[in-house]
């Protein structure tokens, strides 16, 4: 958090930043001696105070004056993307990788609408993305006689005034808060601070709309001395929260075979510390499961880890969990694929559901209280000595090494699964596209703290490639250890391929495994296995693409075509490959219909 020693106008000597931001004091408010700064600088300084260093977007005439001021705020970097949709995907992954916030900046109409699919994905998947939009001038917005300004979607009758606020109304459906800035400096700053806090608190997008004729509006610099306090604030009485915690604790103490499920909202709402405090007190007394979105929060080498719960699609795991006396679901992210196609089968009378939006204790739903309130109290009050030792379930273990005699090809998706199991560390980030390999994620065996970034709920293909840019820059900006590994489909890659040029431009150190299986394989499994609508141009020379984007001498990238299992395993395990500081593209040539078993089950092609 930003802190200051007194309430005077802040300067570099008065400001300090905590270790989480990684920013030295003189990079936060350099050389501010005047009492006023522009509203543009104010927005960018607020972003910098969060520790964010990269702003993604595309310039346009309505945001240029706004964007000019990013150069006045030392420590912020402009990351120019090839289009706004890719920029939104990158900001989304930056937020998920940094566990702070992603920032996107676009222009009016054509830019913000181009980004909207990515913002809607961030809204659906709970990623805190702050979308800054440079809009038409306030004088035009207020003038009822203004007609058809460029970038305005025209009225049904062209001689009538176009509506300057229609895009803001559209954005309201995909955001938790917004600020449409007008010419009151005090109110403008208050709105900006509120939207930033709301975006963080709800882990969903927020919007700031800045008219192009207000980019130079002066505001009070002293406000920057008061931090935006990024802590959860609640209205529930302490006694009530403690009462809910006590109710949960009594159920824990009176049941013998207690199992816990860890899920995605723990990570999305930054509750890892509280969750780990609870798990430390549980020790080896309870059985542990994860959902697909919860993978990596508990290492699968944990002696009490049983498996990934995927409903009827992993019956051995499901039968063990569902037979428990009490099941506590930490951070429930309730959506179709995470819940095995809605096949979770847990009796309400033995189920405690702790979500970021409610608490449900054995069927008694309470939307006025959340896990963010309850978990810290549970962590402090849980008495380990009163927790019964549950019967230890046998770990559901799989080995993804297909014997040669069962092979249909020399390289299969099971080989990619094995290589990830062997090479991912607890510091790494794995990004998986909405492709056939998405259904392999429940069966991966990952170490604790491995961050798996998915978009399985929104499921917009093309996400993973620009997300690699965002996650890699988050690692760099926040001095995180580990590497980014990305699984990308060949059809999906064609959606957002131009962002490969940004990998070179910004010297991205990441590994992308591209599944070349000749088209939309995940769609082929659903309907139309040989239909032309599931075909793509299969003649792309994937390993030549980075040369085409400018890396002629392979100074910033390396590319390989992989056709054999041993070749893949040897390359990914080679330290000189993993640590060469370059962008690494591996084209893996796979059979057209080679897919994980769970995809066949999920689509009904093989029995569950």
Residues of the binding site for Mg(2+): 490, 517, 519
Contact of 311 with 344, CB cutoff 8 Å = yes
CA atoms within 13 A on the CB side of 296: 24
Contacts of 32 (CB under 8 A, 6+ apart): 9, 10, 11, 12, 221, 224
Contact of 450 with 471, CB cutoff 8 Å = no
The structure tokens 């009796």 sit at 347
SS3 92: helix
**CA distances from residue 471 to 94, 162, 344, 349, 561 in whole angstroms, order as listed:** 5, 39, 31, 41, 24
> CA 268 to CA 263: how far, in whole Å?
10
Q: Which of 538, 436, 535 is nearest to 489 (CA)?
A: 436
Q: Which residues are annotated as a binding site?
A: 490, 517, 519
> CA 163 to CA 142: how far, in whole Å?
10
**CA distances from residue 300 to 232, 288, 402 in whole angstroms, order as listed:** 30, 9, 21
Contact of 339 with 325, CB cutoff 8 Å = no
> CA 512 to CA 94: how far, in whole Å?
17
**Residue 383: both structure tokens together:** 């008495």
**Residue 336: both structure tokens together:** 């179709």
Q: Which of 166, 168, 160 is nearest to 144 (CA)?
A: 160
Phi-psi bin for 594: left (phi > 0), alpha (psi -120 to 50), beta?
A: beta
**Residue 108: both structure tokens together:** 């009016």
H-helix segments, 323-454: 371-381, 413-423
């Amino acid at each position: 958090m930003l802190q200051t020693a007194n309430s005077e106008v802040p300067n570099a000597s008065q400001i300090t930043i905590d270790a989480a931001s990684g920013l030295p004091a003189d990079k936060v408010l350099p050389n501010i001696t005047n009492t006023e700064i522009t509203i543009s600088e104010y927005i960018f300084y607020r972003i910098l105070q969060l520790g964010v260093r990269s702003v993604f977007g595309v310039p346009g005439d309505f945001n240029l004056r706004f964007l000019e001021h990013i150069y006045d705020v030392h420590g912020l970097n402009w990351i120019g993307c090839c289009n706004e949709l890719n920029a939104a995907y990158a900001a989304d992954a930056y937020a998920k990788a940094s566990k702070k916030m992603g920032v996107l900046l676009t222009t009016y109409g054509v830019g913000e609408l181009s980004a909207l699919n990515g913002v809607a994905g961030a809204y659906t998947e709970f990623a805190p993305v702050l979308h800054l939009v440079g809009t038409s001038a306030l004088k035009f917005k207020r003038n009822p006689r203004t007609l058809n300004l460029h970038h305005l979607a025209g009225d049904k009758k062209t001689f009538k005034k176009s509506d300057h606020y229609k895009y803001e109304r559209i954005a309201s459906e995909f955001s938790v808060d917004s600020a449409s800035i007008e010419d009151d400096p005090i109110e403008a700053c208050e709105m900006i601070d509120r939207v930033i806090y709301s975006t963080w608190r709800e882990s969903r997008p927020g919007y700031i709309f800045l008219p192009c004729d207000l980019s130079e509006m002066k505001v009070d610099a002293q406000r920057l001395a008061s931090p935006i306090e990024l802590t959860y604030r609640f209205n529930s009485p302490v006694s009530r929260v403690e009462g809910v915690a006590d109710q949960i604790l009594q159920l824990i103490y009176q049941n013998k075979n207690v199992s816990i499920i860890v899920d995605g909202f723990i990570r999305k709402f930054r509750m890892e510390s509280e969750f780990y405090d609870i798990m430390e007190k549980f020790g080896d007394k309870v059985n542990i499961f994860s959902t697909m979105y919860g993978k990596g929060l508990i290492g699968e080498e944990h002696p009490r880890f049983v498996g990934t719960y995927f409903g009827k699609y992993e019956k051995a795991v499901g039968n063990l969990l569902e037979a428990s006396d009490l099941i506590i679901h930490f951070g429930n992210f309730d959506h179709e694929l995470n819940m095995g196609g809605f096949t979770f089968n847990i009796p309400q009378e033995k189920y405690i559901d702790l979500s970021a939006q409610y608490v449900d204790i054995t069927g008694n739903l309470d939307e006025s209280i959340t896990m963010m309130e309850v978990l810290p109290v549970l962590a402090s009050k849980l008495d380990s000595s009163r927790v019964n030792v549950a019967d230890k379930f046998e770990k559901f273990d799989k080995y993804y090494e297909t014997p040669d005699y069962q092979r249909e090809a020399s390289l299969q998706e099971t080989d990619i699964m094995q290589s990830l199991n062997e090479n991912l560390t607890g510091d790494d980030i794995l990004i998986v596209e909405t492709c056939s390999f998405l259904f392999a994620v429940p069966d991966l065996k990952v170490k604790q703290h491995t961050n798996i970034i998915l978009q399985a709920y929104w499921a917009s293909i093309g996400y993973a490639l620009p997300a690699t840019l965002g996650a890699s820059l988050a690692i760099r900006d926040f001095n995180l250890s580990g590497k980014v590994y990305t699984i990308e489909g060949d059809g999906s890659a064609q959606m957002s391929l131009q962002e490969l040029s940004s990998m070179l431009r910004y010297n991205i150190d990441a590994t992308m495994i591209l599944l070349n299986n000749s088209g939309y394989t995940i769609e082929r499994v659903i309907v139309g296995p040989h239909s032309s609508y599931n075909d793509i141009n299969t003649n792309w020379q994937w390993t030549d693409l980075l040369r085409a984007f400018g890396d002629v001498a392979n100074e910033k990238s390396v590319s390989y075509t992989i056709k054999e299992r041993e070749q893949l395993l040897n390359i990914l395990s080679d330290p000189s490959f993993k640590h060469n500081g370059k962008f690494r593209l591996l084209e893996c040539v796979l059979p057209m219909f080679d897919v994980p078993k769970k995809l066949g089950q999920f689509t009904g092609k093989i029995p569950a």
